[in-house]
Amino acid sequence: MLTLSPVVTQVLQVATIVLASPGITGVMAQVEARMQGRRGPRILQPYFDLAKLFRKEALMPAGVGPFFLLAPVLAFACYLTVPLLIPVLTTYALPLGDMGDILGGGIILAFASFVVAVAAGETGDPYAQLGASRAKTFGAITEPVVLLVVFTVSLLTATDLPYVLAATVTSGPAQIVRPAHLLASAALFMVILFETGRIPIETHSGTIELGMIEEGRSFEHSGPYLALLKWGSSAKQLIFFTIFLNVFVAPWGLASTHSLGRVLLAIVALLAKAIVLGVVVTVIDNTFAKLRLFRITEFVSAAFLLAVLAIFTLYLGGG
């Protein structure tokens, strides 16, 4: 039986996230269109859009520095780094899997958001600055939620390594229904809804000023740099899906050996689970009305409260 070296498997982890993420976005766009009674774009349309943007000329607003063009590259590099730290395809840690934990992955994702926000602020464009300002304002609440979720994970497993948590969840059904685990998973799911621009946060597919957060930050980028931002946004969505599925909720289907067949099955399992989660998110997105801007803080505060309750249940009720 053909086996893969750990290095090749690690490359496959990164390639799976990067190459499959636009397809997951395309599936979600197709489901959304069908729910709204439209024909909608093709599932592969995000790939065609990226190819078209990479062929276009890149323009810079007057007065910006080189960091404006460097930011999309840095952000995309961050999204390439996180799959090295989390169980994308395997149950065992790969060569670079122990160089960071869940907290480290969260810091890398936060840094990617930071550099994009700085680049948006540098343009002087009011819409780009508005999107960056809103993203960091609400992110000031969601980032502590991630920290509390990581803290809950550490209390459950005595470590914050994602591979250990996934092994803990698969050790028995009682682990999944633990109150602390359910509360932390719910808090993380609400963070995913915020980070991916879904209900009840914003209009993720438009440029309406009142709902412009994620779309606003990339307003002044064009050409290959806009392609990197859009591609990175899809990759970030699949990274959050992978963390939620392979660490917290459904860490099954991962390869336990270096066998090529097992790794290929793990890729199929991840994509299947991500599509199911994407459909669930899309259904939620199209079932509820969008929140007004001043109500978004209440939504992210509710996620923060769930994370706090997860910790209290461990200390007071056994969790």
pLDDT digit string, tens, across residues 45-75: 999 999 999 998 888 777 777 888 898 999 9
Confidence class of residue 172 from pLDDT cuts 50, 70 and 90?
Answer: low
Burial of 78 (0-12, 13-18, 19+ CB in 10 A): buried
Burial code (b: 16+ CB inside 10 Å, e: under 16) for 20-52 equals: bbbbbbbbbbbbbeeeeeeebeebebbbebbee
Contact 304, 187 (CB under 8 A): yes
Residue 97 lies in a domain: yes
Contact 106, 150 (CB under 8 A): yes
Residue 111 lies in a domain: yes
Query: What is the domain extent for residue 101?
Result: 6-317
Size of the chain, expressed as the number of residues it contains: 319
Find residue 3's DSSP bridge partners: 259
Residue 287 lies in a domain: yes
Model confidence at 39: pLDDT above 80: yes
Q: How many Å apart are CA 148 and CA 135, to the nearest integer?
A: 20
Q: How many Å apart are CA 40 and CA 264, to the nearest integer?
A: 30
Residue 1 lies in a domain: no
* Domains contained in the chain, number: 1
pLDDT digit string, tens, across residues 232-274: 989 999 999 998 898 888 888 888 888 888 889 999 999 999 9
Contact 243, 153 (CB under 8 A): no
Q: How many Å apart are CA 125 and CA 9, to the nearest integer?
A: 43
Q: Is the dihedral of CA 44, 50, 54, 55 positive or negative?
A: positive
Residue 268 lies in a domain: yes
Residue 113 lies in a domain: yes
| 147-161 mean pLDDT | 72
CB atoms within 10 A of CB 297: 15
Question: Which residues lie closer than 8 Å to 171 by C-beta, 6 or more apart?
Answer: none
Q: How many Å apart are CA 222 and CA 100, to the nearest integer?
A: 33
pLDDT digit string, tens, across residues 202-228: 555 555 555 566 666 777 778 898 899
Global pTM reads 0.87
Burial code (b: 16+ CB inside 10 Å, e: under 16) for 259-286 equals: ebebbeebbebbbebbbebbbebbeebe
Q: Which one-letter DSSP state was computed for residue 3? A: B
